[in-house]
Amino acid sequence: MRLGVLFSGGKDSTYAAWLAKKMGYSIECLIAIYSDNKESYMFHTPGIELVEEQAFLMNIPLVRQETKGLKEEELKDLESAIKKAIKKHAIDGIVTGAVASVYQASRIQNICNRLHIECFNPLWQKNQIELLEELIKNKFEAILSGVFAYPFDAKWVGRKIDSKFIEKIKELQTKYKINPAGEGGEFESLVVSCPLFKKKLDVKISDVRGEGNAWRAIFE
Amino acid sequence: MHYLEFVKPIEDILFKNKIKFFTKGYKEVQQKDLDNCEKLIICGTSLKDNIFIEDAKTRFSWIKVFDKPILGICGGMQIIGKVYGANVGQKTEIGFFKEIFDKEFLGMKGEEEVYHLHNSFVYLPMHFENYGVSEIVQAMKHKEKEIYGVLFHPEVRQKVIIENFSLL
């Protein structure tokens, strides 16, 4: 089966892509949505300018689609992106990194159902701590590219997701009930190295911008 | 990859509750597997993966003589229904829906937000009771046997159903 990965460059979609490949599926393209709206419910924007470089490191073609990121309009843009991928790369299924978000997952399921293609969510309902631990075990190196909830601040941006991070996030989970994998939008990540990349992503954070508990990295 | 999405979340719930289990693809199930288990859960699958329903009535005919508790989820419920002679209807529902259960069903009662992912459903078979109020059967149980079926995916928001079933 030929699959396209709905790809943000973050840990979940990259790990989902790796799982699909490991299970023997052929990844024909990555589908990336560039949203103008930084508050988008559907698409995670920090670091997306690096997605082209990640696709190059994976040697997988990228299907790009821009969206204004308005609530239901962005779904039409997602659907056109998937249609483009079906036409250009003859995919018969989509892989997503959805873990717990019914909002995201059900909208993508709807689109795939209309277009008569498979929709794979290999991380669906996965225990969030287990997910972080598997990433490390499988040599995924990811950093926080943005934080968007209390008690995070600017200091967290750029931090590596390692075992120390997991310990800290477990503490915060108990204390503040934050979602340890960040899928509730608490933080966004960027994969800088993983078994799918032919070399490490060359990336430097030049600035961290934001206020209060919402900060994002500006990449050079 | 359907395993990771539809089976693994259920295994996680069983594992967390320290319940021993083994998992088999429906095409690989043999008589000795049926003899070796105490209970059986038939998991759901993706919207596109729907060929199992075509020959469900013959392939799963063993359900009728299997005298241990069964829980069918989504496609699994439709299999049970078909084996018991009911027809499958078409209706697409994807996402959260509010459903009302007027009778207690494996620890769940009242209004619940359930996760739907189906293009089809099964009508209430003979000898089964509907535990919900909606026209499309959301939760059913055999009147004499411990055979349960849910159309929605309890592994998303109603994990208690799977826990209670496994503790029966």
According to the model, what pLDDT value does residue A44 have? 60
B46 contact residues in A (CB cutoff 8 A): 118-120
> pLDDT of B33-90, one tens digit each?
999 999 999 999 999 999 999 999 999 999 999 999 999 999 999 999 999 999 999 9
- Alpha carbon A71 to chain centroid distance? 19
Interface confidence (ipTM) of the complex: 0.90
Edge-first strand listing for the sheet containing A187-193: A187-193, A141-147, A214-219, A205-211
DSSP line for B50-61: -GGGTTHHHHTG
Summarize pLDDT for A84-136 with one digit per residue, the tens.
999 999 999 999 999 988 988 999 999 999 999 999 999 999 988 999 999 99
Q: Which residue has the tokens 């490490």?
A: A200
Tell whether B139 is within 8 A of chain A (Cβ): no
Confidence of residue A176 (pLDDT cuts 50, 70, 90): confident
Q: Report strand pairing: B88-105 vs A141-147.
A: unpaired
Q: Mapping DSSP to helix (H, G, I), strand (E, B) and coil, where does residue B68 land?
A: coil
Q: What is the mean pLDDT of residues A157-169?
A: 94
CATH 3.90.1490.10 domain span(s) along chain A: 128-219
Summarize pLDDT for A128-156 with one digit per residue, the tens. 899 999 999 999 999 999 888 888 889 99
Give residue A36's pLDDT.
74
**Domain segments of chain B: what residues?**
2-166
CATH fold of the domain at A128-219:
putative n-type atp pyrophosphatase, domain 2 (3.90.1490)
pLDDT band at A214 (very low <50, low <70, confident <90, very high): confident
Please check whether residue A99 touches B, CB under 8 A. Answer: no
Beta bridge partners of B99: B112
Nearest-by-CA chain A residue for B45: A120
- Top-level CATH class of A2-120? alpha beta
Residues of A in contact with B47 (CB under 8 A): 109, 112-113, 119
Options 3.90.470.20, 2.40.50.140, 3.40.50.880, 3.30.365.10; CATH of B2-166? 3.40.50.880
Any chain A CB within 8 A of the CB of B94? yes
In this predicted structure, the answer to whether residue A37 has a pLDDT above a threshold of 80 is: no
Q: Is B12 in the A-facing interface, judged by CB distances under 8 Å?
A: yes
Does residue A184 surpass a pLDDT of 80?
Answer: no
Interface touch B119/A113, C-beta < 8 Å: yes
Strand partners of residue B100: B111
Average pLDDT over residues A47-60: 88
Q: Are strands B70-73 and B147-150 parallel, antiparallel or unpaired?
A: parallel
From-to residues of CATH 3.40.50.620 in chain A:
2-120
pLDDT band at A47 (very low <50, low <70, confident <90, very high): low
Residue A46 has pLDDT above 60, yes or no: no
